[in-house]
Amino acid sequence: MAEKEIDNRFNKFGTVSFTGLTRVNAFIDHLQQGKVMGTRCKTCGKGFFPPRADCCKSLDSDMEWVEVTGAGTLLTYSTLSYAPTGFGQDLPYTIAVADFGSVRMFGRLHRSIPAEDILIGMPLKLTVRQLPDGNVMYEFLVAS
């Protein structure tokens, strides 16, 4: 029997990846091409971010990839002084939830945004960041 190849593309995501094995590994390929993608159920149209391979509404797996584009809105945020294991070297950083219409996204605010400029409701856009170790992640920038 041939040795099974392990698809662990998610090991390339972010500072610390806790999820190396998933059915939505193409997310990393898209991210490496500069695109932040969610999935959408072809049956009912529900959008998912993080991307999911199965729809919890239709209970099927007929999904398509959809790029998250345009401006989102900052819903809530928290600037961290303490971090989980593996994220300490990034402190301080700000985590946030933004509404992009079809999906709500959890992520980090880009370091270039001064703390005093962060406002609930401010427009945000996505950017893909290449980390020094070759991993990739997305962050929120202020949209103009």
Residues in contact with Zn ion by the rule CB under 5 A: 41, 43-44, 46, 55, 57-58
Backbone angles phi, psi at 42, to 5 degrees: -70, -20
Among residues 57 and 111, whose Cβ is nearest to Zn ion?
Answer: 57
Residues with Cβ within 8 Å of 35's Cβ and at least 6 positions away in sequence, in order, are: 67, 128
Among residues 41 and 126, whose Cβ is nearest to Zn ion?
Answer: 41
Among residues 46 and 129, whose Cβ is nearest to Zn ion?
Answer: 46
**CB of residue 39 vs Zn ion: minimum separation in angstroms?**
10
Identify the helix (H) or strand (E) that includes residue 26: helix 26-32
**CB of residue 37 vs Zn ion: minimum separation in angstroms?**
17
**CB of residue 89 vs Zn ion: minimum separation in angstroms?**
40
Closest by CA to 126, choosing from 115, 136, 114, is 136
